[in-house]
Amino acid sequence: MDMVSQKASAFVGYIAQRLRHENFVLIDIGCSGGLDWTWRSFGDRLNAWGFDPNIEEVERLNGVETNPGVKYEAGFVSAPADHPAVLARDGKSYWGRNPWDRLAVARSMAITAEQTRAAANEVKVAANAWQMSRLAEDRHINLPTFLAEKGVSSADFLKLDIDGPDFDILQSLSGMLADVKLIGVGLEVNFCGTGDPTEHAFHNTDLFMKQQGFELFGLSVRPYSAAALPERYTSSFPAQAVSGRPLQGDALYVRDLCSPLWADLAKQYGPHKLLKLAAIFATFGLPDCAAEVLTTHRAAISWLLDVDYALNLLVAQSSHAESGLDYPLLIEAFNRNDPMFYS
């Protein structure tokens, strides 16, 4: 997912300081390339488990990792073969009406296949050609079981992007989402599909996440051009293009603990989770939503941090950073319908 610049780091770093003995727990399924750098703003308050089948990449990540709370595991996170979601799909394709074979990216990948296959593993990682790497074929990881064995009873954010059985795995984690009190989930989604409820399609993912009590707070769209008239790629390897049909994107789902509908859940989750919720919003470029967490739950969290100071950090992340206004003056200007809020 596209994260924000260092403007978010000041706020997230401040939240990390105020977590005291709590940690921010991240689960990254499909971690080739490493954790997104923005999570590092949590410093030594970051605990993370990364999973990927690319053996060499996992070895590299463990070798360069400096945070003892971050660990990487080689293997395929998967849904149990007897899970109802897997049985319902019954071997059908993960994607319906997938135009992949007609796209420029597929043609380019076929043209460069031999070159990519002979390249170093880091090149394969960059090009998302993970199937050409040495994979941990024999290790399948049931995530709830793995976390239970590691003593992880609470987690905060889950990222899932594995180019395949994402929706099967997501459905198999329905109990875990609530059990470990996850407050944010980042998912790769597909915009192709049919009416089949088992497909890894955005409409199915969105319905499932709403059923789990999450709301959509972010959605990106990656265009892919047709091979009939290839457009320029946006990177140095075949991938999305400057224009084309919407094929894939990244969706951010978060528990909306500022809504009166979830007031009881907000109390149950407690103030530390609320701080982490605000940090997730800031991390994904939503300082307005982070501010709503702070103002809605001021009474519950004020013993942990200086709410007014934190709100000013969020102003610095917003489009009003150059206004010179602090948070109270900004809200005052808004309430008098100041022209600064109009283009």
Distance CA 177, CA 157 (A): 10
The sign of the dihedral angle between the CA atoms of 255, 258, 259, 265 is: positive
Question: What was the pLDDT predicted at 48?
Answer: 98
Cα separation of the two ends of the chain: 28
pLDDT of 6 higher than 80: no
Q: CB–CB of 77/49 below 8 Å?
A: no
Whole-angstrom CA distances from 76 to 55, 81, 164, 243 are 11, 13, 11, 33
pLDDT of 3 higher than 50: no
Quick: pLDDT tens for 272-306. 999 999 999 999 999 999 999 999 999 999 999 99
- Report pTM: 0.95
pLDDT of 241 higher than 80: yes
Quick: pLDDT tens for 203-222. 999 999 999 999 999 999 99
Question: What was the pLDDT predicted at 5?
Answer: 56
What is the average pLDDT value for the chain, to the nearest integer?
95
Give the mean pLDDT of 14-36: 96
Quick: pLDDT tens for 69-99. 999 999 999 999 999 999 999 999 999 999 9
Give the mean pLDDT of 37-56: 96
Distance CA 24, CA 135 (A): 29
Is 122 or 155 the better-scoring residue by pLDDT?
155
Question: Which of the residue ranges 116-120, 141-145, 171-175, 283-287 would you say has the lowest mean pLDDT?
Answer: 116-120
| Domains present along the chain, CATH in parentheses | 7-288 (3.40.50)
pLDDT of 1 higher than 80: no
pLDDT of 55 higher than 90: yes
